[in-house]
Structure 1
Amino acid sequence: MASAFAFELGAHRILTKMCGIALIISGIRFDLSSLLLDTTPPVTNSDQLEFTIADLAAALRRRGPDSLGTKKLLLHSSGSEIMSGVEEEFNNCFSAANGRTPCMHFFGATLQLRGVNPVVHPLIDSSKNVLVYNGEIFGGIEIASKENDGEVLMGLLGGCEGCVPNVVSRIKGPWAIIYWQESSRTLWFGRDAFGRRSLLVHWPTVEDSRFLLSSVSPVASNEHSSAENGTTKLGFWEELPCGIYSVSIDAPNGDGSLVGEVKKHEWTNAMLEELIKWERTSVEPKPKELHISRCETVRGQHDMNSLTSDIVPMPSKSGNIQASISVPAEAVLIALRESVLRRSSLHRIFQASMHVEKNLVPVAVLFSGGLDSMIIAALLHDCLDPSYEIDLLNVSFDGQSAPDRISAKAGVSELRRIAPLRKWKLVEINADSSNLTFETKRVLSLINPANTYMDLNIGIALWLAAGGDGWVYEENSKYNDENRQGVRYKSKARIVLVGSGADEQCAGYGRHRTKYRSGSWLRLHEEMKLDMQRIWKRNLGRDDRCIADTGKEARFPFLDEDVIRTLLGIPLWEVTNLDQPSGIGDKKILREVAELLGLHEAATLPKRAIQFGTRIARESNRKNFGSNRAANQASAGSVVIHKQLDTA
């Protein structure tokens, strides 16, 4: 089987993945004019921020890395000097103004996923180039079976002068990067075009002249309190907009102090540029095209057979496959299957032996039992070696009554029907919203700079689900039996597959239906485009930070470059049909994909957001607004958290 071969091939590959990267630059004046930033806020002595290098290191350590590497780069007018040392020693280097040497501090928190030899970041080559890289290379750059992503990237970057944008533009997959190029005295940094890996930035200000990059914000940088009423004042960090940036370090005439000029660079990959623009060639159908789309049955099967030979549509209970599946749905299925394969076949947990560990669960799925997570789970089964179990992580804030718990139980039953030989573990994670003091304080730090109650609710649900600490029941246990016996279980999977991006690309939100009704196909397309172009800021950075904090790596199959390209190449009316009711027309093409996989019950499930499906929104509304009704009147989901929450 092709997928099993790919998995075993990947087992020989040396891989360390970062669960966090960071950089602090001190003693350099920054020229930010090209970015048009406001860098001169008023200074008030009562509003100073106490934030140290140790705080940043602690934020990365709490993610549970196997190692945390640090390097210090001292910057001189004629060159640089790399030093290794403990973090306390780094605090001795701050600014040129007080006579200390300008310097850069690099941090790399390493999560060991596969291979027999650990690779510790930051990486340094013989030319004094320094790299910390938090990402996956799923394509675009060739990686041999025994090579490490970061080391290959380091070699490519070290062999070019000024071609960093060309190299990173080729990468297919999520990434965030910080790279010092010694020969040009240039710092390069950035994140992928869709923002699938978090990277926060603090641009220098008169309050704090340091330049900082980090995968996560330290707690200390969130406890910036106003003298007036003790409320939390956010704004120190912001999400770095997707792209490639550089800081050229130079010593001008005059006082001899170092100056860094910041620039943003264009992507050099034409295909990537097209995906970023997110333009669809076929948006508004002609009446004839719409009629054909709604009435035509399966067509062109002989052209697809060779491509779908490894994807066997599961029959329904009556033994027949529904006859309304389109060729575009088959194309999406192929792209999604390849996406899941890339994200599940090369991830072996660090171990010297090559045999399959008993009860090893390498990959988990954030699982609501809804359409998106059911598709991911079914495809993961198809791609993952049959010897491995699969954890399905489900969180509830209302015991067995939450909608997501109910659909998860039904979903795992359907998965067991189509894949009876696979060991599926539904991990039931039960949370009490009235007893989340520690979780709330921690997640408030993780979602920063996001700051609404909706962000907090989603963040807590994701953090608890990814943690995987719950209960597992025997397959033959009756779900309606409150006396059923379970065992305590904590998922050890270090890879978590997440369904982000499905609703944005396939019109799964209620506002998509509203736009369609008010402005037809063109307004719908513009709203979906807006969603995709802001997903880095509204969703992905926050979600990546919350999941990574549990020692897991989030991977997003629906946001694979080839999946995005496939969906954009399909006429919009084939992707969705919002004239039909919820659960039928919305995300039409994914419902057809589910049918091809034999997931007939899942194919009809309506969209339900995690904060509502888990019922954390209801419980949060009662706690913070007194009732659901009061929360709805206040539009609680978008309300900014101004008051200091009770996290004592």
Structure 2
Amino acid sequence: MCGIALIVSGIHIGTSSLPFDSAIATRRTEKLSFSLDDLKAALRRRGPDSLGAKKLLLRLLGQNEISSSFAEHSDDVSSSSIVANADCTIETAKLRFFGATLQLRGIKPLIQPLADASGNVLVYNGEIFGGFHITSDCNDTEFLIQTLGECCSCGCCSTDHCVKCGKSSIPSVLSAIKGPWAIIYWQDSSRTLWFGRDPFGRRSLLVHWPTEDDSTFLLSSVSPVSPVQQAAEDEAHNEVGCLSYWEELPCGIYSVHVDASNSSGYLVGEVKIHEYTNSMLNELIKWERISIEPSCEDLQTCCHKLSREQHAMDLTSSESVPNETGSIQPAILMPAQILLNALKESVLRRTSLYTIYQAVISGIRLEKFVPVAVLFSGGLDSMILAALLDKCLDSSYEIDLLNVSFDGQLAPDRKSAKAGLSELRRVAPSRKWRLVEIDADLSDLVFETSHVMSLINPANTYMDLNIGIALWLASGGDGWVSDAYTSDNDDNLVRIKYKSNAKILLVGSGADEQCAGYGRHRTSYRHGSWLGLHQEMRLDMQRIWRRNLGRDDRCIADNGKEARFPFLDEDVIRLLLDIPLWEVANLDQPSGIGDKRILREVAELLGLYEAAVLPKRAIQFGSRIARESNRKNFGSNRAANQASAGSVRIHRKSNFC
């Protein structure tokens, strides 16, 4: 994982060709002031292993001739404000690249940005879980800069391969990656800047588009400062119609070809957006399901298949059954079993211990090293992830289950987490499970709340902040564990202070969106039947980058942890779309049965019978931070509900700050 950023000055960048409102250069945005040191500090929290910078200078030599060179002291940058019109001549432009790395792969230390012999520069925040063959001792970023360096540089390729030279195009390479990514890449031979995010936005990338009052172009994994902290300095950005300084970069692949303006002599560039060239990826983006509305016969079959499925479940352990003649034939797998297999592969891809870990654990006792943790509520999704992780991770490692509560032992998520721990111990008795109880009091989190507000930015509602605080505290892993102080009586437990050192955190994002886990899905089904349900689920998946994943990635990564989302694996998404909707969910049935029906069947296959019937409970409610926030900011839960507190924007003089 890496925190990445780019500051571009001295280039007149046009955005008129972009298909969204950010292209309006005359719009007004907040006026923020932060330094390079602020930016680097924010990035360093995401990537504690190394921090690097490179400064690329572009000079206009003639009418259409541009030279490029690296500054000798790339990281010799001042602490002055970077948000202002650049103080460079019209003949010179600066591209300042930053990368802060949490290294999880490869056998040698890596410092981003990377530059190759051809003058190309790469900062990359992502994991390549498929699409390319990468050996276990290879680093993704090193592989990618080599692969991108072999791409066509004509700048006009819109397909997988250039028709002129036969080389791969940059969009085709990025489209082939299976896994989360955000990228900034300078292709020197074509004088083109490339940047973008994977189609689901699983890695954060914020953008400040050039505007009339601030021509700076910035990309960053994280906002280095919260607008709330700037309120005393500048109240002008409270004007109606004034947009956030930062925006979530819409998912896609973008390019800016730098050229010389014939009329003015300035360096100019126009932002262009490119299609993903992978046909399967484009199908996932459209999120069209094969079978949406069942026939009467489908529903009747669905109602009578549970006993057959249970019979098949009993036979899948041998993966074959005898037929009437006594010969062995492969068992016919039910949708839940197929999904279980896909989820297991997804978890395995995200938790394989690459060679880098051998160096990490060389000086640590094996039993003290915890490579992977689970963001754990004890609910259906996190229980499935924990049980699958047990099947994928070497039995010598302990697994941390991170649970946050704002009401001590009384929060619903704390109760379900303890019940879930007992069930996990039953289905996986040889595994050492560690429930990390992270207790918090909202009234004590003054500095922390202000800090999280900068992380969720540009999200700005109380719901976003509640979720952000809960995720930030949980991923920090700083809590308590209960341990037996006598071997004769397991009931005698003492809580001891503990901080999880796991760098990889499994998160259940995407399960509710794809399997109809939200209350609004039931409402859509009630009003619009199966088609209405499908349309609401598709809307959720197509906006998950804006509403959830960028925010969540920033809050979790701020602790030097990498969030990984097994439910958002490309193969899992494809499979769930191939399964008829009525097999995924049946909202004619009550809560805890019909919603996320297929995941409940997966849980039963894993032996998680108690978790299989748990109702959906969002982290802000299960941890009870929403209740405490409502009391603090609205006086009571009732007043907050009347004000629809979850969607209310945070005021600058809020009690939170």
Same fold (TM over 0.5): yes
Q: Which one of the candidate residues 117, 127, 131 is aligned to 1:126?
A: 117
CA distance in 1, matches of 2:485, 2:536: 45
SS at match of 2:448: helix
Q: Deviations over 1:422-468 (max 9, x none)?
A: 00000000000111101110100000000000000000000000000
- Tell me by how many angstroms 1:88 deviates: 2.3
- Tell me by how many angstroms 1:38 deviates: 1.3
Give the counterpart letter for 2:343 in structure 1: L
Where do residues 94-109 of structure 1 align in structure 2 (5 Å cutoff)? 95=86, 98=89, 101-109=92-100
User: Is residue 2:338 matched to residue 1:338?
Assistant: no
Q: Which one of the candidate residues 46, 60, 75 is aligned to 1:86?
A: 75
Q: Measured at CA, do residues 418 and 42 of structure 1 come closer, stay the same or move farther in structure 2, by a change above 3 Å?
A: closer
Partner of residue 4, structure 1 = none
SS at match of 1:108: strand
Paired residues of 1:399 and 1:430 also in contact (CA < 8 A): yes
User: Is residue 2:380 matched to residue 1:374?
Assistant: no
- Tell me by how many angstroms 1:254 deviates: 2.8
Where do residues 533-612 of structure 1 align in structure 2 (5 Å cutoff)? 533-612=542-621
- Tell me by how many angstroms 1:370 deviates: 0.1
Q: Measured at CA, do residues 376 and 475 of structure 1 come closer, stay the same or move farther in structure 2, by a change above 3 Å?
A: farther
User: Is residue 2:235 matched to residue 1:227?
Assistant: yes
- Tell me by how many angstroms 1:485 deviates: 1.4
Paired residues of 2:379 and 2:416 also in contact (CA < 8 A): yes
Q: Which one of the candidate residues 37, 40, 47 is aligned to 2:26?
A: 40
SS at match of 1:352: helix
Structure 1 stretch 559-568 or stretch 108-117: which is displaced more? Answer: 108-117
Q: Measured at CA, do residues 475 and 138 of structure 1 come closer, stay the same or move farther in structure 2, by a change above 3 Å?
A: farther
Give the counterpart letter for 1:85 in structure 2: S
Give the counterpart letter for 2:578 in structure 1: G
CA distance in 1, matches of 2:590, 2:192: 55
Partner of residue 46, structure 2 = 63
SS at match of 1:457: helix
Q: Which one of the candidate residues 264, 273, 281 is aligned to 1:264?
A: 273
- Tell me by how many angstroms 1:352 deviates: 3.0
Paired residues of 1:425 and 1:472 also in contact (CA < 8 A): yes
Q: Which one of the candidate residues 334, 337, 347 is aligned to 1:327?
A: 334
SS at match of 1:600: coil
CA distance in 1, matches of 2:218, 2:319: 47
Q: Measured at CA, do residues 302 and 148 of structure 1 come closer, stay the same or move farther in structure 2, by a change above 3 Å?
A: farther
Give the counterpart letter for 2:298 in structure 1: E
SS at match of 2:207: strand
SS at match of 1:274: helix
Partner of residue 210, structure 1 = 216
Q: Please list every run of 5 or more consecutive structure 1 residues that lacks an aligned counterpart in the other structure.
A: 1-16, 312-324
- Tell me by how many angstroms 1:159 deviates: 0.5
SS at match of 1:463: helix
Q: Measured at CA, do residues 411 and 247 of structure 1 come closer, stay the same or move farther in structure 2, by a change above 3 Å?
A: same
Q: Which one of the candidate residues 144, 166, 175 is aligned to 2:135?
A: 144
User: Is residue 2:198 matched to residue 1:192?
Assistant: yes
CA distance in 2, matches of 1:268, 1:222: 41
CA distance in 2, matches of 1:105, 1:221: 23
SS at match of 1:79: strand
CA distance in 2, matches of 1:228, 1:49: 11
Structure 1 stretch 161-170 or stretch 555-564: which is displaced more? Answer: 161-170
Give the counterpart letter for 2:74 in structure 1: G
Q: Measured at CA, do residues 348 and 431 of structure 1 come closer, stay the same or move farther in structure 2, by a change above 3 Å?
A: farther
- Tell me by how many angstroms 1:179 deviates: 0.3
- Tell me by how many angstroms 1:303 deviates: 9.9
SS at match of 2:117: coil
Q: Measured at CA, do residues 579 and 647 of structure 1 come closer, stay the same or move farther in structure 2, by a change above 3 Å?
A: closer
Partner of residue 433, structure 2 = 424
- Tell me by how many angstroms 1:419 deviates: 0.6
Q: Deviations over 1:291-316 (max 9, x none)?
A: 101211465999999987699xxxxx
Q: Deviations over 1:541-565 (max 9, x none)?
A: 0000000001100000000000001
Where do residues 450-469 of structure 1 align in structure 2 (5 Å cutoff)? 450-469=459-478
Paired residues of 1:471 and 1:487 also in contact (CA < 8 A): yes
CA distance in 2, matches of 1:630, 1:118: 53
CA distance in 1, matches of 2:485, 2:317: 34
CA distance in 1, matches of 2:319, 2:94: 54
Paired residues of 2:292 and 2:530 also in contact (CA < 8 A): yes
CA distance in 1, matches of 2:645, 2:45: 30
SS at match of 1:261: strand
Q: Which one of the candidate residues 254, 257, 261 is aligned to 1:252?
A: 261
Partner of residue 161, structure 2 = none
- Tell me by how many angstroms 1:85 deviates: 2.9
Paired residues of 1:173 and 1:560 also in contact (CA < 8 A): yes
Q: Deviations over 1:161-205 (max 9, x none)?
A: 141100000000000000000000000000000000000000011
Partner of residue 112, structure 1 = 103
User: Is residue 2:630 matched to residue 1:621?
Assistant: yes
SS at match of 1:76: strand
Paired residues of 2:207 and 2:218 also in contact (CA < 8 A): yes
CA distance in 2, matches of 1:566, 1:475: 43
Length, aligned pairs only? 613
Give the counterpart letter for 1:344 in structure 2: T
Q: Measured at CA, do residues 114 and 623 of structure 1 come closer, stay the same or move farther in structure 2, by a change above 3 Å?
A: same
CA distance in 1, matches of 2:309, 2:390: 27
- Tell me by how many angstroms 1:207 deviates: 2.3
User: Is residue 2:186 matched to residue 1:180?
Assistant: yes
User: Is residue 2:35 matched to residue 1:52?
Assistant: yes
Paired residues of 1:194 and 1:535 also in contact (CA < 8 A): yes
Q: Deviations over 1:583-642 (max 9, x none)?
A: 011000000000000000000000000000000000000000000000000000000112
Paired residues of 1:283 and 1:521 also in contact (CA < 8 A): yes
Q: Deviations over 1:319-356 (max 9, x none)?
A: xxxxxx97000111011000000000134665538767
CA distance in 2, matches of 1:530, 1:197: 19
CA distance in 1, matches of 2:609, 2:205: 39
- Tell me by how many angstroms 1:76 deviates: 1.4
Q: Measured at CA, do residues 387 and 482 of structure 1 come closer, stay the same or move farther in structure 2, by a change above 3 Å?
A: closer
Give the counterpart letter for 2:24 in structure 1: D
- Over the matched positions of the two proteins, sequence identity in percent amounts to 67
- Tell me by how many angstroms 1:222 deviates: 5.6
Q: Deviations over 1:228-272 (max 9, x none)?
A: 798997600000000000000000213311001100000100000
Q: Measured at CA, do residues 249 and 308 of structure 1 come closer, stay the same or move farther in structure 2, by a change above 3 Å?
A: farther
CA distance in 1, matches of 2:452, 2:361: 37
TM-score, with structure 1 as normaliser: 0.90
CA distance in 1, matches of 2:333, 2:358: 44
Structure 1 stretch 409-418 or stretch 203-212: which is displaced more? Answer: 203-212
SS at match of 2:254: strand
CA distance in 2, matches of 1:56, 1:344: 30
The root-mean-square deviation of aligned C-alpha atoms, in Å, is 2.7
User: Is residue 2:252 matched to residue 1:243?
Assistant: yes
Q: Which one of the candidate residues 337, 352, 364 is aligned to 2:359?
A: 352
Partner of residue 63, structure 2 = none
Partner of residue 423, structure 2 = 414
- Tell me by how many angstroms 1:644 deviates: 2.8
SS at match of 2:465: helix
Paired residues of 1:340 and 1:379 also in contact (CA < 8 A): yes
Q: Measured at CA, do residues 523 and 643 of structure 1 come closer, stay the same or move farther in structure 2, by a change above 3 Å?
A: same
Paired residues of 1:466 and 1:496 also in contact (CA < 8 A): yes
